[in-house]
Amino acid sequence: MTTLPRYIRLTAAAGVLTTAAFGGYVLSHLEVIPETGRRRLMLISPETERRLGEMNFRKILQQHQNQILPLTDPRAKMVRYVGERIAKASNRPDFNWEFVVIDSPEENAFCLPGGKICVYTGLFKQLRHQDGLAAVLSHEVAHALARHSAEQISLGSLFSIMLLFLSPEASTVVASAYSLAFDLPKSREHESEADAIGLDLMAKACFDPRASPEMFADWAKKDHIKAFKYFSTHPPSSERAQNLQKLLKGPMDRYNHHCHDVQKLYRN
């Protein structure tokens, strides 16, 4: 039997050890999302994530300093009122929740790590009522609770390390394939997960959960692009409305059984 050269055996052994060490590192950084039970890779600590969120939030406040609505503005009051009810329902006092409204025609809202949520005034044109705003804010709070930003950073960091072992040409091809086959589907998964978690948060905060599928059904009527779902960071609004409708029973039971007196209190 021919014996392999020593350098080949050493290289193979080093490869096995490196693979084992890498696998052990990955396994040691797997965690479960409490709200959904999904397992995922997490390389960033909550403290680091919150520092990043705080830093980026301050940059946004500086960038839009002349567009931030004062707390006396009715829209800012509503966002803060609804947001604080949802934040309380999340039962995460370790988060430093902040809600700001930016005067901009964009019909959007977004969340930064650690509970920093920004709403554009353009969004109000798309909302029927306060429960619709609660649907948006619950979705954004859910992103923070599930630590989706930290998960994206973790996966991106791991992928960047892998690219170091490839040529520039191969890296470009692999990066494009990664985006289409993994990054975009993961983003859509995060959106669907935040929809589901947000539905439960709405019920806990005593906002009508039916407003969430209703809102996406409204947005589906205005969607101009019906195809190319797999090139998007978000699932189609019609699909989100249908999925949320299927998840309504549990949140609605909670809302109907526990929120009658609370709703009366908030309305008075």
Q: Which of 54, 98, 106, 140 is catalytic?
A: 140
CA dihedral 56, 57, 59, 62 (to 10 degrees): 180
Q: State the DSSP string of 102-126.
A: E--S---EEEETTTEEEEEGGGGGG
Report the C-alpha gap between 118 and 227 in whole angstroms: 29
Neighbours of 212 (CB within 10 A): 29
- 128 exposure class (CB count in 10 Å sphere: 0-12, 13-18, 19+): exposed
- Is 140 annotated in the active site? yes
Q: What's the CA angle centered on 232, arms 228 and 234, to 5 degrees? A: 120
The residues carrying an active-site annotation are: 140
